Amino acid sequence: MLAGELYLADDPEIAADALRSALLNETFNATSAGEPEARRTALAELLGEVGEGTEIRPPLRVDYGHRITVGPRTFVNFGAVFLDVARITIGADVQMGPNVQLLTPAHPIDPEPRRAKWEAAQPITIGDNVWLGGGVIVCPGVSIGENTVVGAGAVVTKDLPANVVAVGNPARVIRKIGEAEEERPTAP
């Protein structure tokens, strides 16, 4: 499974890992905003690595959790879904709008193996200082380069380079960051 090869999800070891994650996910999602330390502890138990100063707002849904690393100072808004059958690596200073989905699982196109419940997965990598707008979906095997901005509702099916703005379904690069355009508000 971790090598990206076909596997059956009803394997007892995988099922036990999924149950562990589901219970930790419930704990994290039940934490109170008034108890930031309890929330941080639950998140640290659920995920493989959580950088300092990172905030992830519940509800959060993950498959296993321990295959997810999140860099420091990252912010993930409400309703994120991170299906970590394969590794998910999120860099430092990443911003994610509500309802972002990072989806590593893949299923066979051929109907027979799919009917037999075979699955596979490919890792996802989100570079430092990336901004994913609300509702962005990142598909299996995708890497997004540092500083890239992905517009709300985009579906990212292929790698995106660093320092670009991408929008649409499927997401496509519309410009490099720093090219002349009528910029929206920027910091002084």
4-27 pLDDT per residue, tens: 788 887 888 888 999 999 999 999
pLDDT in tens, 54-74: 999 999 999 999 999 999 999
**What is the maximal distance between C-alpha atoms in the chain?**
57
* 164 sits in which H/E element: strand 164-167
- pTM of full prediction above 0.75: yes
Say if strands 131-132 and 105-106 run parallel, antiparallel, or are unpaired.
unpaired
Above 60 in pLDDT, residue 188? no
Query: What are the catalytic residues?
Result: 107
Q: What is the mean pLDDT of residues 164-181?
A: 91
Residue tagged 């930790």 (tokens): 24
Q: What is the mean pLDDT of residues 110-129?
A: 94
- pLDDT given for residue 5 in this prediction: 80
Say if strands 149-150 and 131-132 run parallel, antiparallel, or are unpaired.
parallel
Residue 148 pLDDT class (50, 70, 90 cuts)? very high
**102 beta partners:** 82, 138
Alpha helices (runs of H) in the chain, residue ranges in sequence order:
12-29, 36-46, 111-115
